[in-house]
Chain A
Amino acid sequence: MMLRLAITGLLRRRTRTALTTAGVAVAAAMLLDMVMLGSGMRESFRGFLEQQDYQLRMSPRGTMPFDTEATVGGAAALVARVMADPDVEAVAPVLGGKLFVTRGDSVVAAFALGVDPALQADYVLVEGRDIAAPNETVWNGAMLEAAGRAVGDTVRAAAGYDPQLRRYTGARELVIVGRGRFVMLSGGELAAALPLATAQGMQADRADRISVALVRLRAGASADSVASRLELAEPRMSAISTEAALRFVDERLGYFRQLALILASVSLAVGFLLVTTLVTVSVNERIGEIAVLRAIGVAKWRVVAQVLVEGVALSLVGATLGLGLGLITARWLNGILAAFPGLPAAFDFFLFEPSAAFRSLGLLVLCGILAGLWPAWRAASLPIAKTLREEAVA
């Protein structure tokens, strides 16, 4: 009966209830997005770096981690030296470059990766088979689509193209043997993988050169100490461990996470204040009703519970709507941020972790309960006779 009283009370003030619920939903969505954003980038980076299962990344000193223009020579010897380190289990050399194919009159340019198919960690095969011969290649879906080709086709491809002279350099016949998902690339980017030697051979000045070497360590090896050892031994290269990269990212994202935390707290406060306002207003206009309930013998805590139910109902419905709204806005914002040039497609700014999401929304509902507590207790504790008298006068 008291529950009915609470619910019918909310329904009686439909517009106000709807507006407050909408407000709580927005606050909840914001809260959720901020929680998702706070952990999303970091976790995304981690998943991203760890999925390669290589703990160290060696690149020419003084270059950006994803830069493929810079290369180092003497690659075979370099790889052999790194392999000789007792803590190193495997080394995957990679050479970045371009691949050009024609489609009718137009030229399609893709990002090309020369890899060792047995060791590579740059793509995951989703169709066909992996590279097994020097003239074989794996493309991603975007590249197949842009070039109008399918797995199984043989194409003529070049490593260089001069648009003024319309001249190709390093042209080869290649067989597309598979389709892959390239983990480091953003969604729309065109990509192709070739055997390392083929990629080196197609480019005039890239013989025995690589852009990056991924290093897998034996179990128990300390990534940081191996990294500094390798940097000492190979002065042309810098080696960065996944852990160090994560620390670096963490440091950079620290401000970002702080901002997310502050905005999340603000959302929580806004939700709390909204519910408090509504409950206070609704309690104040029902002071008389509450005094009557008390006069006919309704226990104080039941009156308080009735008011609390209102706050809980508001924040529960608001939080549920906010969950949906938050997920939609997160996806939308993710779409905007993912278009940021140079970021891999697999990169998510907003990570939905059910436990964190429900914890934060639970916190919001808890705020809804607390919001009602004071106004409810105050109203239920007013002297009954005096309140009835004042209400009769009013």
Chain B
Amino acid sequence: MSDTRPSRRSEELVLSARDVRRDYPVAGEPVHAVRGISLDIARGEYVALVGPSGCGKSTLLNLLGAIDRPTSGTITIAGRDISSLSDAEATRFRLTGIGFVFQRFYLMPTLTAAENVQLPMAEAKVPRAEREARTEELLGYVGLAGRSEHRPYQLSGGEQQRVAIARALANRPALLLADEPTGELDARTGAEMIEMFARLNADGATLVVVTHDEELAKAARRVVHLRDGVVVDDAGRAAP
């Protein structure tokens, strides 16, 4: 994975959020899920977003991943303001700029592990030979070298999550986002996953992980605490 290793310059920001708000219009009082969050994340950082249930972690992560749009504020990722992208531009950005790992893996059930990993590359029009080589490399990286022809139902939860990680890495994203990636896994498999994330980060990936898992949060070098839609503590923040 030497090709994803970036130069470690702490001043090089991958992500910069400024006064980001997200209101959900609900009948009567609107829900203020995220109320004015500013956040800078440098290349190569490993950030855990923690906080009580309903504090806005998933909402924030979705905003950072351009699958949702802030009510106000700006989000810049890899030098690009993503808060004002059109739908097609945001889609393209998610494809190449962001890797998403979900709590429930969300693999395509009818495709094999290899095909699931190839999917984002095919969408990005990566040539077939290159696509296949990278799929092999990625599946090897997550420890599933021999399982490429298996379908999701033939894989354990932990294995499915590894395939999902390989899929998220397929297009060499600037930022890897994960929403409770160990939430569906038992303690042991969760621990393996935590190791995997540490390794990813060591190999250069910039990670933002939403979690309730204390072990996972501990593994992160920086822990951002949210409460009621605002940042209340930001431990281990890289020096500006």
Contacts and interface: CB of A to CB of B under 8 A. Distances in A.
Contacts of A389: 58
A51 interface: no
Interface stretch (B10-18, B84-92, B206-214, B223-231): B84-92
Interface in A299-316: 299-300, 302
A4 B114 CA distance: 13
B127 interface: no
B167 A296 contact: yes
Interface string A256-292: 0000000000000000000000000000000011001
The list of the 10 closest CB pairs from A to B, nearest first, reads A297-B95, A8-B110, A1-B122, A297-B94, A385-B68, A385-B62, A292-B106, A384-B67, A295-B67, A385-B67
B83 to A, nearest CB: 14
Interface residues of B, number: 34
B108 interface: yes
For chain B, what secondary structure do more than half of its interface residues adopt (helix, strand, loop), or is it mixed?
helix
Interface string A121-140: 00000000000000000000
B111 A296 contact: no
Interface string B78-104: 000000000110011111101010111
A383 B167 contact: no
Interface in B29-69: 58-59, 62, 65, 67-68
Contacts of A288: 106
A9 B103 CA distance: 23
Contact of A5 (B65, B92, B108): B108
A289 B168 CA distance: 16
B123 A1 contact: yes
Contacts of A42: none
Given A288-B106, A294-B91, 5 more contacts: A1-B122, A11-B110, A295-B65, A298-B120, A392-B104
A337 to B, nearest CB: 47
21 contacts: A1-B119, A5-B108, A5-B119, A8-B110, A8-B111, A11-B110, A292-B102, A295-B102, A296-B100, A296-B167, A297-B91, A297-B93, A297-B95, A297-B98, A297-B123, A297-B171, A299-B88, A299-B91, A299-B92, A300-B88, A388-B67
Nearest to B110: A8
B74 interface: no
B87 A300 contact: yes
A296 B119 contact: yes
Contacts of A384: 62, 67-68
Contact of B102 (A1, A8, A388): A388
Residue with the highest number of chain B CB atoms closer than 10 Å, among A1, A298, A300, A389: A1
B115 interface: yes
A167 interface: no
Contacts of B100: 295-296
Contacts of B167: 296
Interface of B: 58-59, 62, 65, 67-68, 87-88, 91-96, 98, 100, 102-104, 106, 108-111, 115, 118-120, 122-124, 167-168, 171
A300 B91 contact: yes
A294 B115 CA distance: 17
Interface of A: 1-2, 4-5, 8-9, 11-12, 288-289, 292-300, 302, 383-385, 388-389, 392
Nearest to B61: A385
Nearest to A384: B67
A294 B94 CA distance: 9
B70 to A, nearest CB: 12
A295 B66 CA distance: 8
Contacts of A298: 91, 95, 119-120, 123
Contacts of A299: 88, 91-92, 123
B101 to A, nearest CB: 10
A5 B94 contact: no
B145 to A, nearest CB: 21
Contact of A12 (B65, B87, B94, B109): B109
A9 B120 CA distance: 18
Contacts of A295: 65, 67, 94, 100, 102, 106
Nearest to A288: B106
Nearest to A299: B91
Contacts of B111: 1, 4-5, 8
B8 to A, nearest CB: 27
B88 to A, nearest CB: 7
A288 B102 CA distance: 12
